[in-house]
A = this chain, B = another copy of it.
Amino acid sequence: MAKLTSRAEDYSKWYNELVVKADLAENSGVRGCMVIKPYGYAIWEKMRDEMDKKFKETGHENAYFPIFIPKSYFEAEEQNAEGFAKECAVVTHYRLKTDPDNPKKLIVDPEAKLEEELIVRPTSEAIIWSTYKNWIQSYRDLPILINQWANVVRWEMRTRFFLRTTEFLWQEGHTAHATKDEAIEESEKMLDVYADFSENFMAIPVIKGLKTESERFAGAVETYCIEALMQDGKALQAGTSHFLGQNFAKAFDVKFTNKEGKIEYAWATSWGTSTRLMGALIMTHSDDLGLVLPPSLAPIQVVIVPIFKGEEQLEQINKVAFEVQAKLKAKGISVKYDNRTEYKPGWKFAEYELKGVPVRIAMGARDLENKTVEIARRDNLTKETQPIENIENYIEELLATMQKDIYQKALDFRNSHITEVNSYDEFKKVLAEKGGFISAHWDGTAEEEEQIKNETKATIRCIPLDNKLEEGVSLISKKTSKQRVIFAKAY
């Protein structure tokens, strides 16, 4: 197996190679669309199941809405339409027919042209709010708390595995409320759910914040976000939660009678996370040997590899290994015993390092004699010998420790990459030499934001929610500012 390009050599190349070699995904024959391979999909399934549990615990139900949005619906909320019009896949026909010039070819049947074009959903506010219109008459019908797991399509010109693909998988929550306060509370609650999931399940520390106007979701009044920091010093938006005000209710005429008997437009939120999180996972934890997975997300948490000469030794090891495997399984730990004879132990070690299996147990003839095993941690690459007795308890604790350690390592990196700067020169220097999040004053205008973006490629990632007020002067216009915001180059 050829080694991965190292991160230091070419981070982007390392990422692409890792995705392919660790069997997470590969390019397809369809422009910008990828195939998510079983190993990658198994990780996504774990994310999905955990998020789904959290959504249900917070009172949300799943539903399913059509993938197609009639053009007239799509147009209804103007900001939203304008934001997505440039990247829409459009269905115009509903039939193919045999090419009269070549019976082996098919052509679009010109007689099967749709009266109204259908947009493949880039996001579902339009189709969902056209439906909510029928569901909402009175405040008693509210709140509506719905989530959808679905595929969406945005025609991206430059695509990258997981981070930006024409089709991607995601969840989108769409809620309707009787009051503005309740809708804002919902957007903030779901941001907290995302942050909790990201930090405690994916071991990815995030900053919770608000987007500036220019970075807001098309059609939103406010966009909340969680921002993570990748190892190369670039930020990655890991989830967003939008307070949509009454924009979609007005576009689709969704009114209700409130408690006071007055007619009012409903208040909306939407919130989403996607397979993009796979990219965040990879670029937060992995190293030059391959994936590093927090135990919570590892399809295989423990692999047992026998070290043997000859069939007799293997049979002896098999006996013990199957016992250990059974004990670990009984603890709910997913464990694979790889006793294939066509691969050498060294090959297997490299393979499971590449795949990010958190714990490797090696078992040789001498271990059998000593009643021990060798345990290797994937995250920090340490090895130790442990008695085989009660090994299942030891491993259980080890996995919990590793989950914490992997998070702590990412947190330490992130915290050491938040730099406060007080001048534009300093800003540019830190951005060039260190990267990461840069905390600086901003004058609150789109102009300054735009100029900084054009000159440095850094954008305002967010205005942190836990900001403390602090007087300062902004980077370029030197106007007074009351708080710092977070800048970074971003994926």
By a beta-carbon cutoff of 8 Å, the part of chain A in contact with chain B is: 26, 28-30, 33-38, 41-42, 45, 61-71, 73-75, 78, 81, 85-98, 104-106, 108, 117-120, 127, 130-131, 134, 146, 150-151, 153, 155, 167, 169
Whether A38 touches B120, Cβ cut-off 8 Å, given contacts A96-B85, A96-B88, A106-B85, is: no
A357 to chain B, nearest CB (A): 16
A95 x B88 contact (CB < 8 A): yes
Q: Which residues of B contact A86 (CB under 8 A)?
A: 95-97
Which are the 10 A-B pairs with shortest beta-carbon distances?
A38-B61, A33-B66, A36-B64, A85-B96, A94-B155, A90-B93, A30-B66, A92-B92, A89-B91, A38-B63
- Determine which of B41, B70, B106, B130 lies in contact with A61 in the assembled complex, contact meaning CB atoms within 8 Å: B41
A39 to chain B, nearest CB (A): 8
A30 x B88 contact (CB < 8 A): no
A167 x B90 contact (CB < 8 A): no
A127 x B28 contact (CB < 8 A): yes
A76 to chain B, nearest CB (A): 10
Which B residue sits closest to A156, measured CB to CB? Answer: B94
- Determine which of B26, B61, B68, B75 lies in contact with A167 in the assembled complex, contact meaning CB atoms within 8 Å: B68
Whether A67 touches B167, Cβ cut-off 8 Å, given contacts A94-B88, A131-B28, is: yes
Q: Which residues of B contact A108 (CB under 8 A)?
A: 90, 92, 117
Copy number in this complex? 2
Whether A151 touches B67, Cβ cut-off 8 Å, given contacts A75-B104, A88-B95, is: yes
B45 x A62 contact (CB < 8 A): yes
Q: Which residues of B contact A64 (CB under 8 A)?
A: 35-36, 41, 169
A28 x B75 contact (CB < 8 A): no
CA of A85 to CA of B62, assembled, Å: 33
Q: Which residues of B contact A37 (CB under 8 A)?
A: 63
A413 to chain B, nearest CB (A): 31
B106 x A89 contact (CB < 8 A): no
A91 x B91 contact (CB < 8 A): yes
A115 to chain B, nearest CB (A): 9
A114 to chain B, nearest CB (A): 9
Instruction: Tell me which of A96, A119, A134 has the highest count of chain B C-beta atoms within 10 A of its own C-beta.
Output: A96
B96 x A130 contact (CB < 8 A): no
Q: Which residues of B contact A68 (CB under 8 A)?
A: 30, 33, 89, 167
CA of A151 to CA of B124, assembled, Å: 15
24 contacting pairs across A/B (C-beta < 8 A): A28-B66, A29-B130, A35-B131, A36-B64, A38-B62, A38-B63, A38-B146, A41-B61, A41-B63, A45-B62, A67-B151, A67-B167, A68-B167, A75-B104, A75-B106, A85-B95, A85-B98, A86-B96, A87-B94, A88-B94, A89-B91, A89-B93, A120-B120, A151-B151
Q: Which residues of B contact A81 (CB under 8 A)?
A: 96, 106
B127 x A71 contact (CB < 8 A): no
